[in-house]
Amino acid sequence: MIKIYGSFVSRATRNLWMLEELGLEYEHVSLDWAKQENRSAAYLKINPAGKVPTLEDGDATLSESLGINLYLVQKYGQGGLWPDDDAGRALCVQWSFWAAAELEPLAYGRIREFLFKKEPDRDQALIANMAERTGPLLDLMTLALDEHAYLSGETFTVADLNAACVMEYLDRSDFDLSGWPKVAAWYTNTYGRPANQKIQDQRAPIAADMMKRLQG
């Protein structure tokens, strides 16, 4: 049985979404990060970096949320979320790495200010600078979405899932997407998929609790 480690308020939700899309059975081990459960000796054996998420699937054990999704889709999503053709696959890998290397530093850098600081302590100059650098990335997505309905072609693939689960940080920090209507529509459509909705419904009460603790 596939096991995924990491709570609903961690990057594990990216993998829970993928597991639901693929219709796989899995066991969810929700390590509590506030209690340092991810630093226990038992967990460090599974992932020496002590971070979540980690996936176990038979003999394969791996970490890195977006990498886990690429692994799952190649093994269980052939012809669906993992396209059959080389060009489609190349774009799936491309957008996943673009999300990791280009979008996540800006989107995560932004949401950190919102999550871990109270309003008066937020670094407004940093937030503005990051927003400015995010613009060209959204322009680039718009060009892809001008060509086809989804990032890698006419159908929903791992490219969309991996990009949307990073874009989530912009959404949760009230980034104004109105200047990029195609991206906004793509995001709503992608993020609102039933498989993700199922995960987000489970996450909501836990996240509300966490926000109370963080924002007081």
Partner 1 sequence: MITLYGNDRSRATRNVWMLEELGVEYERDMVDHTKGEAKTESFLAINPGGKVPALRDGDVVMFESLAINLYLAMTYGKGGLWPDDAVGQAACVQWTVFSATEVEPHTVGALIELIFKPEAARDEAAAQACLARLPPVLNVLETTLSDLAFLGGDTFTAADLNVACVVNSLNMIGFDFTPYPKMTAWVKTCVARQG
Ligand X SMILES: N[C@@H](CCC(=O)N[C@@H](CS)C(=O)NCC(=O)O)C(=O)O
Write out the residues near partner 1 by the rule CB under 8 A. 48-49, 57-68, 70-71, 74-75, 86-87, 89-91, 93-94, 96-98, 100-102, 104-105, 136, 140, 143
The partner in contact with residue 75, picked from ligand X, partner 1, none with C-beta cut-offs of 5 to 8 angstroms by kind, is partner 1
The partner in contact with residue 10, picked from partner 1, ligand X, none with C-beta cut-offs of 5 to 8 angstroms by kind, is ligand X
Q: Which is nearer to partner 1, 102 or 171 (CB)?
A: 102
197 contact partners, CB below 8 Å, separation of at least 6: none
Report which of 129, 142, 140 is spatially closest to residue 181, judged by C-alpha positions.
142
From the list 20, 37, 56, 64, which residue makes contact with ligand X (rule: CB under 6 A)? 64
Rounded to 10 degrees, the C-alpha dihedral 36/59/156/153 comes to: 120
Residues 79-118 interacting with ligand X (rule: CB under 6 A): 101-102
Residues 29-58 interacting with ligand X (rule: CB under 6 A): 33, 38, 50-53
Q: Which is nearer to ligand X, 15 or 152 (CB)?
A: 15
* Span interacting with ligand X, options 64-72, 78-86, 151-159, 168-176, rule CB under 6 A: 64-72
**19 sits near ligand X (criterion: CB under 6 A):** no
The partner in contact with residue 91, picked from ligand X, partner 1, none with C-beta cut-offs of 5 to 8 angstroms by kind, is partner 1
Q: How far is Cα 65 from Cα 54, in angstroms, rounded to an integer?
A: 8
> ω before 53 within 30° of 0 (cis)?
yes
Q: Which is nearer to ligand X, 74 or 189 (CB)?
A: 74
Residues 156-215 interacting with ligand X (rule: CB under 6 A): none
Q: What is the DSSP string of 44-113?
A: HHH-TT--S-EEEETTEEEE-HHHHHHHHHHHH-BTTTB-SSHHHHHHHHHHHHHIIIIIHHHHHHHHHH
Residues that bind ligand X (CB under 6 A): 10-11, 33, 38, 50-53, 63-66, 101-102
